Structure 1
Amino acid sequence: MTVLDVGAVVGGLRIDAVAGRGGMGVVYKAHQLALNRTVAMKVVSPELAGDPEFRERFRREARLAAALDHPHVVPIHHAGEDDGYLYLTMRYVDGVDLAAMIDEKGRLEPRDAAEIVAQVAGALDAAHARGLVHRDVKPANILVTRPAGRWHAYLTDFGISKELAGNAITQTGLVVGSLDYISPEQLEGHDVDGRADVYSLGCVLFQALTGRVPFPRDTTAARMYAHLHVLAPTPGQVVPALTGPLDAVLARALAKRPADRFATAGEFGRAAVAAAAGLPVGWAPPASASQLKPPVTPAPPTSHPSAPYPPPPAASRPPQHPSGPQAAPAGRSRRWWWVGGAAVVAAVVVGAVFVVPTLTGAAPGPAPTPTAQPDPAAPAAGRVVGTPIKVGAGAYQLTGGSGFLWTANPGAGSISRIDPTTGTSTDLPVGGAPNQVVIGAGKAWVWNYSSAITPVDVASGTAGELIRTEQQISRIGQANGSLWLTLPDKDAVGRIDMTTGQWTGELIPVGHRPGPMSIDGNMIYVVNQTDNTLSTIDATTRAVVGAPHNLPNGIGAVEAAGGRIYVAGSAGMAVQGATDLTAADLVKLDGASGVTPGANAVWIIDTDRNEIRRLAPDLRSPLGGPISGIGKGAGDSQEIDGVLWFLNADDATVTRIEPTPL
């Protein structure tokens, strides 16, 4: 491979040193002369650069990758060509790659390894939402720094690995990519989605924990065979001291069938963090009492005072609930972006496609036309009011109930209770990495990717004893005095009696691998992810209602509100009617990352423009202009008592937005 001389100038960049080498080219530390800054410059090998088809794919994928704005993705500055050299420039990260770090340390502490992998998982979710599958996740493509005593990981090599690895095996039989981390479906030449990256990231975590790859083999053929047919060892089999919850997490991430893995990289990352913290994990074999932590005794609550919000103008003030914000419709979690066919709690999707049949029982009509783009000149559909309320680190789920707003904060191991009148939040430590909080029966019910639920008294903030189910839990919601849990390993929905706080053991069979769930009144809607069906359960009778509805492939989220049942996935979104849905019923909404149904409208977070849009319930007509000033941290949102609340995930704040009257 040709290496440029130090001091050579290509594309206005002076080569200062070789930073690394790979199968696609050489990475240099370079100086951008026009801007007087140091950058990383990747120059593609001449063999690939001379292929016209590769060049076009390279440019297209580089543009997509450059659009990624994520704290754990190395930003791409420019893609260009000079004197036959095809190159990318990106931020220069003064750190070490994870491969070198593992070589030096042998293996990492579990919490360090999980923290790094979880950050990379967030980057992958953002990429998958943009339609990019990395396909070459490996330690050498992960750069690690430690500013202010905390790890910060960057995932590199977006924009070229997808297309280069499109065919896993070349005509000469050589595997393109990194055999120690490649997924079985890549080796078999199948179409891949984000779950291939989950497998590769699982290999990375395994190596970071144990100091070796899952399948150390002497020959290429032996490594390929192992990825395809050999059950991956657990970390505890290699390093006995690691025996515990991480074994089950890695077993799932390294499953041979994509359908048996974590649906998203983010889900895997959060599970790894929880397991490394010593928490029980729901998909593990039944845990012994010694593996389960005792009830958490919260530290003194931490308050975050913020400037009170002024009351809304009288003309637009909705009727107020006597005790503050109403509880969100039971079980609803507004933040349900979809990636690779599965709901993602903390990811971002772009360019989603939507469809809206009716709920009257009539069959969907012809495919509707794309929804009109927002009119920037129209009066804004709402305005930001007051100062954002600071909540716990890593907040990404927002709900309401018992007169408060609530967030789940996996980064802080807490939930935040927010008084919307005073603008003050109180952090209530619950341990672990809380993923979802549901309010009902005077308690906040917290699920943190374990097999247990933590009840927290709404008034005092005191955490009660863990309610142990010894089940894999996928989502939670509340209705009719019960906390409902989707249990993918049981193909069923289970429940906890909220009065007694006891796991009932009752299982209501649904389809295969139920996951996303939403509750409207006493009706429970569950997406069965392997069957591509939607099941309905009456929470009063605790029985399935009717036959399941067929859904298009890739549906991974459901949101029910006010008689409308939205389902969504990587291929689109719909309002589920009384008939089956097909992929033909599509409406496109560029930039949409999620939907919050309101009383008379639907709110869309636009991650392309960092705006919120208000649309008619059928998604076809904008109701006012976009709302700006929400920041780049596209997060959850919730409409309560006519007020829209927006969670900015980047800076962990909740902002009040007063809608313009319709």
Structure 2
Amino acid sequence: MSTTLQDIQQLIAATGKYRFEAENTDGANAYAFRAHHLPLDLPVFLKVLYPDPSGDLFAEPRLLVEATRTESNERNLVRVYDAQRLGDDFVLVAMEYIGGSILSRLSGGPLPMMEAVCAAIGLLHGLAQLHQALLVHRDIKPANVLLSQRHGRLWPKITDFGSVARIAHASASVTASRHSALYVPAEGWATPSRYDARSDLYQVGLVLFAMVHGPLPYNDDAYLDREARKELRDLAKASGGDVDDFDRQKVVDRMLARAASGKGVISFGQMQPYVPKSLARIMNNAVSPAAADRYQTPSGMIGDLEALRLPDWRLAPCGEQYVANGWSGWDWSIGKDPKKPKQWIVLRSPKAATNFRWWAAADSARSACGLVMEATA
């Protein structure tokens, strides 16, 4: 008999340890819940794993405990509080509860630009902790990075260690996980597939792009190139109707492999006009099709991100308008000139004063943002 959500909840309730609060479906590929650990008196995230019965049933929680064994290594990886068998077929893991993921945060659009940069730096610190333990994550994506607040800024923590693999040494590779096809780098589509520490950095580059520019399209149709469209037409013609899900996924995978090896999947995203070349270069470096052309270690990318001195541009809630507070002592606002629709105007106000006044005009939002950078550099 197949296991249902109610069956899982009954098994967890039978442990006597947890008080359910809500089911969690944010990017979860297994049963997941928000709950309270009664003996520890802590809010926890519960995940029900489907372990390989021929291996170590507790492999995933052991990896996470190993990577966070020292106090200094706990900052950007979620902690495991408890793990136990659940019935005959499952393992229940109780992890620290952080809150929402980058994926849920992106439902409201891109993050403020420098907030995204700071989150990426924290994500890279977490990745460095994994790599130091000779582990590669293989599934870094917005749903697998949780966000909390610390010291007045976003504090990311990597979670979901179901795809983590051990490498023999720092430059070794393993087989790629294709669990999240959109985030698989070019070498992950090769035959045989390869995945190393630089592949994790590729995925960080995609997450940074999504935080800065907004989420990549989730509809596969958005990525269809001419070759994929032809394949789908030929399959539909051969079958006399619709293409089944299995064959369609094969076409989509080949299409994403071509994108990862060519212009990159970020070419399908929406670009925000305020993102300067310095930040764009960092993202393009991280997602280069050739692993040798990418950042080779998290520290290299951290160094370039920490060197950025940029306005914290963000989208204003009122529409096609961009604002940055506190840059060079001023608050800035860029929007279209209501009297000249093809012209953009730059307004500024002393920090936190709200009395904005005309400062400059430009023929595009990108040019207007550039004027702000040039005048205050």
Q: Shorter chain as normaliser: what TM range?
A: 0.5 to 0.7
Counterpart code for 1:145 = S
The alpha-carbon deviation at position 6 of structure 1 amounts to: 7.5
Residue 305 of structure 2 corresponds to 272
Moved over 6 A (4+): 234-237
Partner residue, 2:80: 76
Output the amino acid matched with 2:287.
L
Pairing partner for 1:87 from 80, 85, 92: 92
Change (3 A) 1:166 1:264: closer
- The answer as to whether partners of 1:62 and 1:79 remain within 8 angstroms in 2 is no
> Gaps (5+ residues) in structure 1?
170-174, 279-295, 297-465, 467-662
Match of 1:433 in 2: none
SS of residue paired to 1:118: helix
Alpha-carbon distance, 1:100 to partner: 1.1
- Alignment counterpart, residue 242 of structure 1, candidates 265, 269, 275: 275
User: Following the alignment from structure 2 to structure 1, what is the Cα–Cα distance between the partners of residues 139 and 100?
Assistant: 18
- Mapped partners of 2:106, 2:61: distance in 1: 33
**Secondary structure of 2:160's aligned partner:** coil
Q: Match for residue 340 of structure 2?
A: none
Indicate the residue corresponding to 1:354 in structure 2: none
Is 1:33 equivalent to 2:66 in the alignment?
no
Q: Does residue 1:183 correspond to 2:182, yes or no?
A: no
Partner residue of 2:206?
203
Structure 2 letter corresponding to 1:55: L
Q: Distance in 1 between matches of 2:135 and 2:202?
A: 16
Partner of 1:217 in structure 2? 223
1:20 and 2:42 aligned: no
Alignment of 1:494-533 (within 5 A): none
Number of residue pairs aligned between Structure 1 and Structure 2: 268
The structure having more radius of gyration, on CA atoms, is 1
Cα gap change, 1:23/1:153 in structure 2, threshold over 3 Å: closer, same or farther? closer
User: Is it true that 1:126 corresponds to 2:129 in the alignment?
Assistant: yes
2:261 maps to: 228
Contact 1:182 1:200 in 2 (8 A): yes
Which whole-Å CA distance do the structure 2 matches of 1:139 and 1:250 have between them?
15
Query: After superposition, what is the alpha-carbon deviation per residue over 1:141-199, rounded to whole angstroms, capped at 9, x for unaligned?
Result: 111123453221111123x2224996446xxxxx3x21222222222244432211100
TM-score (norm 2): 0.62
Seen in structure 2, the aligned counterparts of structure 1 residues 250 and 39 have a Cα distance that, compared at 3 Å, is same
Q: Point out the structure with the larger helix share.
A: 2
- Give the aligned partner of residue 260 of structure 1: 293
Are the aligned partners of 1:80 and 1:86 in contact in 2 as well (CA < 8 Å)?
A: yes
Instruction: Please point out which of 100, 109, 112 is paired with 1:109.
Output: 112
- Hey, what's the Cα distance between the residues in 1 that align with 2:123 and 2:208? 11
Which residue, out of 172, 194, 203, partners 2:197? 194
Distance 1:35 1:212, change over 3 A: closer
Name the CA shift for 1:12/1:264 in 2 (closer, same or farther; >3 Å).
farther
Distance in 2 separating the partners of 1:109 and 1:181: 23
Return the TM-score normalized by structure 1: 0.37
Offset at residue 74 of structure 1 (A): 1.1
Cα distance in structure 2, aligned partners of 1:66 and 1:226 = 35
Cα gap change, 1:59/1:238 in structure 2, threshold over 3 Å: closer, same or farther? Answer: closer
Q: Output aligned runs, 1:167-566, within 5 Å.
A: 167-168=175-176, 175=178, 177-188=179-190, 189-213=192-216, 217-218=223-224, 219-231=252-264, 238-275=271-308, 277=310
Is the alpha carbon distance of 1:31 and 1:56 closer, same or farther for their aligned partners in structure 2, counting shifts above 3 Å? Answer: closer
Work out whether residues 61 and 93 of structure 2, in 8 Å CA contact, stay in contact via their aligned partners in 1. Answer: no
Deviation at 1:23, TM superposition (A): 6.0
Distance 1:272 1:163, change over 3 A: same
1:140 aligns with 2:158: no
Deviation of 1:66 after TM superposition, in Å, equals 4.7
Cα separation, partners in 2 of 1:150 and 1:212, compared to 1, 3 Å:
closer
